[in-house]
């Protein structure tokens, strides 16, 4: 399976930076904002944060969220 590199995606609510994470780099529990469920360690998922800079890059980075790959796809 191939895990992509950092890229931007257009969503209904704007441009987002997306960083896919491989199972080996997923080492903590996160709560997915898409479904509200946990993402367990060892599960490949994506990290996303706004790319349109509305709130400033530092705030956007601080507000990055971890998503299940499937939940991100249907966002």
Length, in residues, of the chain = 75
Positions 31 through 70 that interact with Zn ion (CB under 5 A): 32, 34-35, 68
Residue 70: CB minimum distance to Zn ion, A: 7
| 71 is an interface residue for Zn ion by CB under 5 A | yes
Structure tokens at 4: 């992509």
Residue 58: CB minimum distance to Zn ion, A: 26
Residue 45: CB minimum distance to Zn ion, A: 8
Rounded to whole angstroms, the Cα distance separating 70 from 68 reads 5
Give every strand in the sheet of 7-11, ordered side by side. 7-11, 14-21, 45-50, 65-68
- Contacts to Zn ion by CB under 5 A: 32, 34-35, 68, 71
């Amino acid at each position: 399976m191939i895990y992509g590199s950092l890229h931007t995606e257009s969503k209904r609510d704007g441009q987002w930076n997306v960083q896919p994470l491989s199972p080996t780099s997923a080492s903590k529990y996160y709560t997915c904002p898409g479904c509200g469920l946990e993402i367990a360690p060892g599960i490949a998922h994506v990290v996303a944060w706004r790319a349109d800079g509305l709130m400033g890059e530092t705030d956007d980075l601080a507000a990055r969220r971890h998503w299940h790959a499937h939940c991100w796809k249907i966002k």
